[in-house]
Amino acid sequence: EAGVAQSPRYKIIEKRQSVAFWCNPISGHATLYWYQQILGQGPKLLIQFQNNGVVDDSQLPKDRFSAERLKGVDSTLKIQPAKLEDSAVYLCASSLELALEGAQYFGPGTRLLVL
């Protein structure tokens, strides 16, 4: 079974530029999560999708971050414009359902450095 795929693995941009990350979850997983992990901290949820609907985006900085999962499969996270404090690892995860009793599976992450 293929795992969660993410691209790119690394990205370096200057502040005020735009950047987009892509995630393809495990086949058949209805729930998709985007987490932000700042160096030295645990991951924090940015947005959670159930199929193509948003379940939780309360921690997403909506003035600069956007995400979509149009066909209920893969997802794109965009930052426009980027700030220095957006430097972090962006992790995508998926689960079979809402996974209150089950596990989430994580991709390798995208490391973003904003200069």
Partner 1 sequence: KQEVTQIPAALSVPEGENLVLNCSFTDSAIYNLQWFRQDPGKGLTSLLLIQSSQREQTSGRLNASLDKSSGRSTLYIAASQPGDSATYLCAVPGNTGKLIFGQGTTLQVKP
Could you give the C-alpha distances from 99 to 29, 49, 96, in angstroms and in order?
A: 10, 12, 7
Q: Does 25 help bind partner 1 (rule: CB under 8 A)?
A: no
Q: Does 2 help bind partner 1 (rule: CB under 8 A)?
A: no
Residue with Cβ nearer partner 1 (15 or 44): 44
Please tell me the distance from the alpha carbon of residue 21 to that of residue 76, in angstroms, as a whole number.
6
Q: Does 104 help bind partner 1 (rule: CB under 8 A)?
A: yes
Total of residues contacting partner 1 (CB under 8 A): 30
Of these, 56, 83, 84, 85, which contacts partner 1 (CB under 8 A)? 56
Please tell me the distance from the alpha carbon of residue 65 to that of residue 57, in angstroms, as a whole number.
10
Please tell me the distance from the alpha carbon of residue 96 to that of residue 110, in angstroms, as a whole number.
22
Residues of this chain that interact with partner 1 (CB under 8 A) are 4, 31, 33, 35, 40-45, 48, 55-56, 91, 93, 95, 97-109, 111
